[in-house]
Amino acid sequence: MKGVKKQNLPSKVCAVCGKPFTWRKKWERVWEDVKYCSDRCRANSKKAVV
């Protein structure tokens, strides 16, 4: 993703809160597996399932 403007980065919708979030460098290798926009949403998803 080097040399790509922020407005052209890929984005997804969070599975918990429904808000859109964009690609981050730390998600470079696992972008296909990312479902949640934050640690908070990831933790809330586990509470909702149980």
pLDDT band at 30 (very low <50, low <70, confident <90, very high): very high
Q: What would the mean pLDDT of 5-26 be, rounded to a whole number?
A: 95
The pTM (predicted TM-score) of the whole model is: 0.79
Which string of DSSP letters, residue by residue, matches 1-50?
A: -TT--GGGS-EEE-TTT--EEE--GGGTTTGGG---SSHHHHHHHHHHH-
Say whether pLDDT at 47 is over 90.
no
Report yes or no: 14 and 21 within 8 Å, Cβ to Cβ.
Answer: yes
pLDDT for res 16: 95
**Residue 33: C-alpha distances to residues 2, 3, 46 (Å):** 21, 23, 16
Q: In whole numbers, what is the pLDDT of the chain averaged over residues?
A: 91
Say whether pLDDT at 50 is over 80.
no
Q: What would the mean pLDDT of 2-30 be, rounded to a whole number?
A: 94
As a whole number of angstroms, the distance between CA 36 and CA 12 comes to 9
